[in-house]
Structure 1
Amino acid sequence: MSLRGKTLLVTGASQGIGLAVAKEAAAQGARVVGVSRTISEDLKAVGAHAVAVDLATADGPGQAVRQAVGLLGGIDILINNVGAFDARLGGFGEITDAQWQHTFEVNFFSAVRAIRAALPSLLERQGAIVNVSSIRGRFPQPATVDYGASKAALTNLGKALAEELGPRGVRVNTVSPGPTRTPAWEGEHGIGAVLAAAGGSTVPEFLAGFPARAGFNTGRLTEPDEVAALVLFLASGQARNINGGDYIIDGGQSKTA
């Protein structure tokens, strides 16, 4: 599955799944550009080219792609990983237009814009796109209704693009993780902290019991490196006839392919 010599751009690379993708791709010999609004010390340590861009802005993804092409000469693999969500415990009626818009800017339009900007290079190099969606795109929940809607849009986009771009040599696949051990769940201000506080427990207490309550038959959250392994397999030459798929990795919670 070696990516040696390939050029790879991954968004949301400062932590969590994006950082794991950047780290493993670099370890396999890829030349990596990691994009994030802020550059973490962990991303610097990977050996990737770190690019600081706000991907939720209209020109942010285009800026990132232009910098990546300037650094690498072109893009073989685009990983749209950046994402964000909040627990909407007040219900649907309290979610403002601004919150809906921000959720879609981060989770959906960042990918639309990055793909559009990178497409000439991807077509020239017969490359691959992997979009990191979520099981919430298939199995929505009230507390993440805007996030789930944005991820459903991303999954749908991937399937449509696979149909258009597959005959032109560019494969497009989607990975849909369930809850993953990242700062979004474990962090001080993450969804785990919000849900723990609502239930009157600490984050470690909440996360210790969450897999069983949520029906994870593996008994644990997914690890970022496990998602990264699936993402990079789909981006690699070993998956050269896989196109238009949506692959779930959720510890058996949804029990579906």
Structure 2
Amino acid sequence: MAFTEVPGASLYWKRDGRDNAPALVLLNSIGTDMDLWDPVLPLLRDSFALLRIDTRGHGASRAEPGDWSLSLLAADVLAVTEAAGFERFSLAGVSLGGMIGMELALQQPRRLEQLALICTSATMDPAAWNDRVVIVRSEGMAAIADLAMGRFLSEAFGTANPGVYETVRRHLLAMDAEGYAGCGAAIRDMNLADRLGAIACPTVIVTGTRDTSTPFEGHGEHLVARIPGAVHCPLGTAHLAPLEAPEALAGVLTSLLKD
């Protein structure tokens, strides 16, 4: 584990897995940290050299307040991969992590081997996200916790796994509101939809059949249609696929990204 200093932030990261194996970067969603990947790690360690990063303003990563951009968040990832010694790598990102992955693939095509976009989108409602940024900054994380949790995990999973549900909710409530707002601004202002055709690396689109935030209809379908050669893999999960379907997700990543 280590910290990498970048302008305006200190980024926390961990390396795991097998040295000299294919490199795989794992990025979290907004409102979570690298622990999102905990259920999947044991299933990936033998196949990859793994790098997890707490997104700016999330988990142990600290940052100066502000409205951030996907370009800035992609630069953060690039700085950490260089510090970790990853010259070329594949990337799997959930939600915001997938958006950052798309931006990075567009900006640094020679660095990306393959891309896994998990429960994510290139088009979100800017007005809704602006409202969320304003609410979080004025009222704190509790003001959006019920909304977020209703999308993070399906009702059936939460009922069957109350400990996981409560842990995710507790971490969400405890996170820095400015960190959430800064990343929310990046989602609000992202400019990906018209650029997807320039993503050159092999890409898999993972959508959740119970995901109400970025379902296939209106979100995943556009990624599949616009990213050249993209492969679609639906899973029986809500928005946080690494928690709700770790075995299925690990199977997708191992089969499609290992070679």
Compute the TM-score of the two structures, normalised by the length of structure 1: 0.43
Instruction: Name whichever structure is richer in strand by fraction.
Output: 2
| TM-score, structure 2 normalization | 0.43
Higher relative contact order (CA 8 A, sep 6+): 2
User: Which of these two proteins has the greater Rg computed from alpha carbons?
Assistant: 1
